[in-house]
Amino acid sequence: MVSKSTAHGHPGYRLGAGNVDEAPKISATTKLEVVERELKYRRHVYPRLVAEHKMTQHLADTQLEAMEAIAEDYRALAAKERLL
């Protein structure tokens, strides 16, 4: 088994019990970091897209709300992960 912090050189990756065909498992903490980075990006970009009429405000709000819900799910999973 490969260490959580060293698999593929990325923190949060873990390989299964020696099965080389098994895809790496990405931790909830790493997923949360990715989702939070994406949220920050969308919060930066969506206002411009709305102003340029490339996206409606309703769609921007709905997409941000959905992404925030996903982040909240991963916050809970990451908290449980830290207890293990």
Residue 3 maps to a domain: no
What's the rounded mean pLDDT across residues 52-58? 98
Report for 11-15, 27-31, 79-83: range of highest mean pLDDT:
27-31
| Predicted confidence (pLDDT) at residue 5 exceeds the cutoff of 50 | no
Residues 6+ apart with CB under 8 A from 49: 55, 60
DSSP state of 13: E
Q: Give the domain extent around 50.
A: 27-83
Residue 48 maps to a domain: yes
Residue 19 maps to a domain: no
Residue 75 maps to a domain: yes
| pLDDT confidence band for 82 (50 / 70 / 90) | confident
Q: Please state the domain count of the chain.
A: 1
